[in-house]
Amino acid sequence: MGAAIGVLMMLTNVADAAVIGGSSSSSFLTADLTVAAIVSADVDIGPSISGTAPLAYDLNAPLVDVAADAGVAATITLVDVNATSVAASASSTVDGGFGSRNAVGAQSFQGFDLSIGVLPDIIAPPTIVPDVISITAEAITVTSTVDGDFGALASAGTLNVTNLQVFANGNLVATLNGDISENFNVVGLSTALAGATLTLNQQPSLTGDGASSRGLVTNAINLNLNDVNAGGVGLLSGDVLVGMTGASLNASAVPEPSSLAIFGLASVGGVFWRRRRRVASPRS
C-alpha cells in the first residue's frame, strides 16, 4: 500500500502544457478625419495580412509602393501618403506540439511621407502653403511579438525609425532615430499645434493573463486630432494609424494519459484492501 501511495504522489505531478492557438496581423494605414464637418476621409490603405494557428504559418504580403490621398476638395486634401516600399508579414510557430511557440506581426516601410491638411498653393503672388502636419522617415520598422509556453507568455512591441521628422505648418518640431520607447509622445507637435497628439510605438491593447493567453497591439504611428486649426479652412478632427501590428497566443495545460491511470490505480488499491479485510474478518 505504501508503495502504491508513493507511485501516486509521483504520477500526480506528471502533466504537459502546450500553446494551442495563435494569430498575428499587419496593416499599413487607416484614417478617419473630417475638416469643418464638410470634407471627410475614412480610408484603409494596404498592404494588409493576417494568419491564424493551430497550424504554423509564415505569410508575407507582396512588396508594394504606396501613393494615395483622400478627402480631396477645392480647398484641402485631408490625407496624402507615400512610401517607396511597404512590407507586411505575419507568422507563428504554433503547430500543436509542446514547448515554447510564438506569433509575430511585423511591418517595414521606406521613403515614408504622410501629410495631413494639404492646402493649395497661392498662385499670385506665388506662395507655397505648408501642410498642416507632415511626418516623414527614411525607414520605419514595427513589430508585435508574443512568445512562450503555458504559464509564461510574454509580449513585446518594438519600433525603430531612421530620420523620422515631424513638421507643423512647415516648421520642424521633432527629429527621431533608433529604437522608440513604448507609447512615446512627441511633445513638440502638441506644443506647436493645439489639439494634435502624436504617439509613436503606441501599445493600446495588452490582453490576457500571461499564463493561458496573451495579446498585444503595436501601432508605429497614432496621430489624433481634436479641432486642430487648419488656417482659413476649418478645424481638423479624427485619427490616423500607420504601421498597425498585432499578435496573440493561447495555451492550455494538457494532462498526460498517465493521469487517467492515477484514478484507476487508486481505485484498484482500495478494492484490494477492502477485499483483504473482508476475507480476514471471519478468522478473527
DSSP string, 13-47: T-EEEEEEEEEEEEEEEEEEEEETTTEEEEEEEEE
According to the model, what pLDDT value does residue 37 have? 67
According to the model, what pLDDT value does residue 75 have? 75
Domain boundaries, the chain: 15-271
CB 44 within 8 A of CB 244: no
Q: Which segments in the chain show pLDDT lower than 70? A: 1-15, 37, 122-126, 232, 254-284
Rounded Cα distance between 193 and 44, Å, is 25
According to the model, what pLDDT value does residue 128 have? 77
Count of CB atoms situated within 10 Å of the CB of 17:
18
According to the model, what pLDDT value does residue 77 have? 86
pTM: 0.82
Strand partners, 92: 57, 103
CB environment 151-165: b (16+ within 10 A), e (fewer): eebebebbbbbeebe
CB 163 within 8 A of CB 172: no
According to the model, what pLDDT value does residue 263 have? 40
Cell numbers 497614432 label which residue?
Answer: 222
